Chains A and B, each alone.
Chain A
Amino acid sequence: MSWEPVIGLEVHVQLSTRTKMFCGCELSFGDPPNVHTCSVCLGLPGSLPVANERAVQYALKIGLALECELAPRSIFHRKNYFYPDLSKGYQISQYDEPLCRGGRLGDVRIHRVHLEEDAAKLVHLGQSGRIHGSDRSVVDFNRGGTPLVEIVTEPDLRTPEDAREWLVLLRNTLRQLAVSDVNMEEGSLRCDANVSVRQAGTAELGTKTELKNMNSFRFVERGIRAEVERQVGLLESGQNVVQETLHFDPQGGTLTPLRSKEEAHDYRYFPEPDLVPVRVTEEMVAAARAELPELPAARAERYLELELSADTARRFAYRPDLGDYFERALAVAAAGDGADVSAQSLANWVAELASQLDDADPAESKVAPEALARLAGLVTGRGVTSAVAQQVLGRLVAEGGDPAAIVEAESLATIGGGGELEETVRAAIEANPDAAERVRAGKAEAIGPIVGYVMRETKGRADGGQVTRMVRERLGV
């Protein structure tokens, strides 16, 4: 029996506005506690919230980028519960009339996008003397009221890897929109996952659990994988999955249920009377649209037109750093007088560079796009072999510089026909008499050791095709 995971994500994004969602306090990171507060974000008696125009605009940009339907009128609700990090006894959020609904990013449908306010920070103090032996905490309201956008997907993801990859795509999209720092480690991007499993081929959804506290892309993948395994284990041993919220501990990779409070789900939502409905005008939408950069879907489309493979187009579109680097290299190659490098082969070299860089942003490496374009040109023009080019790339990554100069200085240029190669081929056949015999007897694949000898002797500077031709000629096949 095979099981299929069904995964949906709930992503919280802190917006990089200047001020908080409902008051004029400046956003801050790392400041001493309680220096960015006012009557509103402290929930003082008599204070009233007023929504931040730029936060609404950022949310509209996100909605447009995710191809959502934007509501011309949406309202805020109060979500009522008591917790020390909540200054008013309720969080102002959106409920049944969110700013954006529907939409899609990559292969995943978006359920909704809405605005809300972040909670304050609660710092555990440990046991303190005030009340003997009791466990104390302190609240810092600097973060309280930071604008948040919550993005909820449909349960369209099927593997933990896909979930991670999609989250990276979302991060990159939001980064391009310049609406958030989208940093998981710092908490400006937070992801919860709803996970269930079902028998492959069935349409019905299983009981889902909610995973919290996965504060890196790696942990998202690991947490979901652990939960899928746990659920499959339960079901295969005839037990049931219980609907609950689980806390992921990245250290041990374990999942612990959060103690469920009996009324945890009775949030008594009702329309926030202190805020008038948000009216999204055509002008607001037009202004948000005008600020949209090229988004991954459009970029992938453009790369396909350059005849990049579908995989490469998607990868470069989802990794705008690679896409940007590729485009700069392509511009140099097109403007240069070198060989006619195809877009795909240049893309392959960008991908090779990315892998040598361990997926870091190539723009921050020592390899200039011009250098990579020239290197690709050398290969296409048969000035160097691929094997040599790999070595040169390694040098560029380590030290930077100009590939042609490296080739020149290290005498790495491809060895053409002529006596030098002729002599090496002869020596190679002599050194591998058995192989030579088998090739003569018609076993073409036996040529390997002979060609390998030549490549070793020339340190990869010989063109493999040419060497093969010369060996076969000399052996009379």
Chain B
Amino acid sequence: MSGIELQDMDDIVLETRDLTKHYGGVHALEGANFILHKGEHVAIMGDNGAGKSTFVRQITGVEQRTRGDIIFDGKSVHFSGPLAAREAGIEAVFQNLALADHLDVPDNLFLGREKTMWNWLGPFRRLDYKGMRDDTIAALEKTGVKIPNIRNTIQNMSGGQRQCVAIARTASFHSKLTIMDEPTAALGVQETAQVETIVRTLKDAGEPLILISHNMRQVMDLVDRIIVFRRGRIVANLNRHETDGQDVVAYITGAKTQPEYEMEGAA
């Protein structure tokens, strides 16, 4: 750790210590130590299969870790599932868009946390369609996403529109941490620009973000810090202003490893 930065413990939103995930013999994630500060936007880069998505799945409770600690919002957490993580304030856009094709935009935005009435009816409580519609329109306006007809099912939308729905979903709920796993990988130039606009909106609002991306220009444009994963391990923690594209690529490909990570890497 460089002692130059002010590192107040209260300042930390998320910390992982020795976070590890094995799938049988596959060591997908090994001993990840990671810190995210309030309001900070951090990119995670690395080759396909480096363990980036695995890292996200452990934090968001989609999977249960093999080993290690996750400290979120000052507390050690063990999320039983994505809902628990979300209730704690972690919103995630997963790589394989978690959208239901046959449902419309408000349905997808509120999937799993519907606004309801008549709650005494338990699972048969009534959906507040109007409330969800109004909130959807407000959320899309806030994020600058425009979809002409939100009553249409997602399946008839373009990849960009679907992505925007997924991102609007995370951005429209007051979360303490947003995680996006390759949000623009399948998008065109203009759609990508739109997603980046949403990311900047989050930055201005002071909401912290973890962004997984292969897009060097995007990463350099958007984030404060870059973490590089290689073969399941963190190999670099780079301040955006102290690095450049070539440098990052050197870490991604394995040409370089930061000294403080070298020992672990050899273990």
**Chains A and B are bound partners:** no
Residues in chain B within 8 A of chain A (CB atoms):
none
Tell me the A residues contacting B by CB distance below 8 Å.
Answer: none
